[in-house]
Amino acid sequence: MRIELLPSTVSGNRVTKRQHYSCFVIDGKVAVDAGSLANSTSDEHKKSIRSVVLSHAHLDHIAGLPLYIDDLFDSLTCPVEIFATQEVIEVLENDIFNWRVYPKFSELENESGPVMCYRKIEAGVPFKVEDLTFEAIPVNHKVPSVGFVISSSASVIAITGDTAEMNGFWQKINGLERLDALLIECAFPNRMSGLAEVSHHLTPEKLGTELGKLKRADCSIFAINLKPMYREETEREIRALEAVGLQVLEVGYEYSF
Ligand SMILES: [Zn+2]
């Protein structure tokens, strides 16, 4: 399985390590979250990504979705499928694709037919996306959110999405037959633990506590979703944890598992 966190932030004319948006592309054709889906996908991605799996409806995870559909509207020969929980679908339909903020693409068609459709997912019920199997696991964020276990024929990874402290997630992860990589959020530096608390995110200190709940040593661990303005500080504090197998996921680099 190949996975890349798309770059999203430019300084001058250079892409930086800072990550304003969350959008992972798996095997070049499945997007997990859609923050930078429109502005950071290659032409090849735009031809092949027809499946978008959403963890939750916060802006940094969905911002690119309306523009992605808009960009491709004319060229789509099949609808872009949006895999999301009922709560997330309701937010998209009521607050984004409502004509006031953006066109209701779920009701629009081009010459080939519908351009966007929803596939409702439920926590604990595996679903297929291309040749991958996903299972959503509830996590602990300010709004209804899920993480995912994603399996291919070759490997298994898990992504938390945005979250604070968890229990059910760890039970699931610890019970998996194999796990090649775990991607876990760490949004704020330790000095911002108050904001992390109210917004349901992790700091490096809390990440250390969470990793204490991981009862397996067979997987690489990557910190993700670091808030861009504090990235260097948060990264230093993550390194200082000296947790075995833990590193910060590089933006714009394709990892293989
Ligand atoms: Zn969020």
**pLDDT tens-digit series, residues 206-253:** 999 999 999 999 899 999 999 999 999 999 999 999 998 999 999 999
Residue 192, burial from CB neighbour count under 10 angstroms (0-12, 13-18, 19+): middle
Residues 168 and 98 in one domain: no
Average pLDDT, integer, range 166-173: 97
Examine the domain organization and report whether 224 and 186 are in the same domain: yes
Residues 176 and 230 in one domain: yes
- Average the pLDDT over 79-83 and give the result: 98
Domain span at residue 61? 1-121
Block residue for tokens 């209701």: 104
Q: Is 253 part of a structural domain of the chain? A: no
Sheet holding 220-224, edge to edge: 127-129, 132-138, 146-151, 156-159, 181-185, 220-224, 246-248
HEC string for 19-51: CCCCCEEECCCEEECCCCCCCCCCHHHHHHCCE
Domain termination site, one of 70, 100, 121: 121
pLDDT at 18: 87
* Cβ neighbour number for residue 190 with a 10 Å cutoff: 15
Q: What is the pTM of this model?
A: 0.96
**Burial environment of residue 168 by CB neighbours within 10 A (0 to 12, 13 to 18, 19 or more):** middle
166 and 237 part of one domain:
yes
pLDDT in tens, 99-142: 999 999 999 999 999 999 999 999 999 999 999 999 999 999 99
CATH number of the domain where residue 134 is located: 3.60.15.10
| Ligand 1 center–CA 211 separation, angstroms | 20
Of the three residues 121, 156, 171, the one that is the final residue of a domain is 121
- The two three-digit tokens of residue 36, written as one number: 């930078």
65, 96, 121 — which closes off a domain? 121
Query: What's the gap in Å between 58 CA and the centre of ligand 1?
Result: 5
**Do 34 and 116 belong to one domain?**
yes
State the distance from the centre of ligand 1 to the C-alpha of 240, rounded, in angstroms: 25
**152 and 228 belong to one structural domain:** yes
CA of 199 relative to ligand 1 center, distance in Å? 8
**Cα 226 to averaged position of ligand 1 atoms, centre (Å):** 12
Q: Give start and end residues of each alpha helix (H) in 123-242.
A: 168-174, 193-199, 204-211, 231-240
Secondary structure (3-state) at 149: strand
